[in-house]
Amino acid sequence: MTSPFSVTGDLCAVIKDAIETQIEGSSAVVTGGGGHYTISVTSAEFEGKSLVNKQRLVYRTIRHLMDGADAPLHAVDKLETLLPASET
């Protein structure tokens, strides 16, 4: 099965946009290449969620990039889910 989603250009930017568009108020930093990426996401949406649920939230936003044999995103080598620093 092939991926229904084709990416042209900078996949890091596509991943970042997918996350920031679907997780309100989030900020993502994406690095990597060759199908393997490191993702760090900061969002207040993570408040009170378990680590697994935070990761699920992020993976839902990029699932379309990971589906199929020809998917452009093969692996997330590291995923950080952070809360925004509180302003005092």
Condensed to tens digits (0 to 9), the pLDDT of residues 53-77 reads 999 999 999 999 999 888 899 899 9
CA dist 86 and 88 (Å) reads: 6
| Residue that is written with structure tokens 């199929």 in the block | 68
Residue 22 pLDDT greater than 50, yes or no? yes
Taking CA 41 as the corner, what is the angle to CA 39 and CA 46, rounded to the nearest 5 degrees?
Answer: 135
CA dist 36 and 84 (Å) reads: 26
Parse the chain into domains and list their residue ranges.
11-82
pLDDT at 88: 46
Topology adopted by domain 11-82: GMP Synthetase; Chain A, domain 3 (3.30.300)
pTM over 0.95: no
Residue 3 pLDDT greater than 80, yes or no? no
